[in-house]
Amino acid sequence: MTDDDWSALAAYIRRVADELGLRDWELRLLRDPPHATDDSSHILAHVNVLYGRRFASIKVCTCFRGESPDDQRMTIVHELIHCHLDQTAQVISGELLDMGRLCQSEYNAIKSAHHRAIENATDAIAVAVAARLPVIEWPKPAPAKLARTPRRA
Ligand SMILES: [Zn+2]
């Protein structure tokens, strides 16, 4: 993606975030590619919400612009909805483990089930909401330079 593409995507994220009730959040688009946290080989995007703050960083894969406009919109909406729901995951990860009443396998089972439930809820909300939001308008690519025709002597 070009610098103009990254700027357009950052502005789009801000616009969609405002529509999703995240006006007071600071959102930073990072250019590092997202890394899968499990065995899946490819993820399109990832959001990291900073605990206790209204701040999140978002990463997208380098192939993001090549996705369909609908998929781009769904991906951004999905990641932004995580900003609302991530605090529950942080409660599971932090406070539940800190209680010290669960063995590791019980904790892992609860955390995994909670993660799946959050992903399902995030997807369902994203499907319901995304169609009401605009797709991103990417900058037009620079016109190709005309090839110079060698002059004849
Ligand atoms: Zn997700």
Task: Quote the ligand 1 centre to 140 CA distance (angstroms).
Answer: 30
Res 38: pLDDT: 55
Task: Quote the ligand 1 centre to 79 CA distance (angstroms).
Answer: 6
Task: Quote the ligand 1 centre to 126 CA distance (angstroms).
Answer: 10
Task: Quote the ligand 1 centre to 101 CA distance (angstroms).
Answer: 28
Task: Quote the ligand 1 centre to 50 CA distance (angstroms).
Answer: 16
Name the band, by pLDDT with cuts 50, 70 and 90, for residue 146.
low
Domains along the sequence of the chain with CATH: 3-130 (3.30.2010)
Res 4: pLDDT: 94
Angle at 56 between CA 35 and CA 92, to 5 degrees: 80
User: What is the pTM (predicted TM-score) of this model?
Assistant: 0.84
Instruction: Report which of 49, 123, 120 is spatially closest to residue 90, judged by C-alpha positions.
Output: 49
Q: Average pLDDT, stretch 6-34?
A: 96
- What is the overall mean pLDDT for the chain? 88
pLDDT in tens, 63-114: 999 999 999 999 999 999 999 998 887 777 777 777 777 888 888 898 889 8
**Residue 40 scores a pLDDT above 60:** no
Q: How many CB atoms lie within 10 A of CB 47?
A: 19
Sheet (strand 26-30) strand order: 26-30, 55-60, 45-49
- Residue pair 6/139 in contact (Cβ under 8 Å)? The answer is no
3-state helix, strand, coil in the chain (%, to 5): 50, 10, 40
Task: Quote the ligand 1 centre to 139 CA distance (angstroms).
Answer: 27
Task: Quote the ligand 1 centre to 96 CA distance (angstroms).
Answer: 21
CA distances to 16, 52, 87 from 130, in Å: 9, 27, 22
Res 104: pLDDT: 83
Supply the DSSP string of 84-127, one letter for each residue. HHHHHHHIIIIIIHHT--S-HHHHHHHHHHHHHHHHHHHHHHHH
Name the band, by pLDDT with cuts 50, 70 and 90, for residue 123.
very high
Name the band, by pLDDT with cuts 50, 70 and 90, for residue 151.
low
Res 41: pLDDT: 60
Task: Quote the ligand 1 centre to 9 CA distance (angstroms).
Answer: 19
- Paired with 55 in beta bridges are 26
Percent of the chain whose pLDDT exceeds 70: 88
Task: Quote the ligand 1 centre to 8 CA distance (angstroms).
Answer: 22
Task: Quote the ligand 1 centre to 43 CA distance (angstroms).
Answer: 10
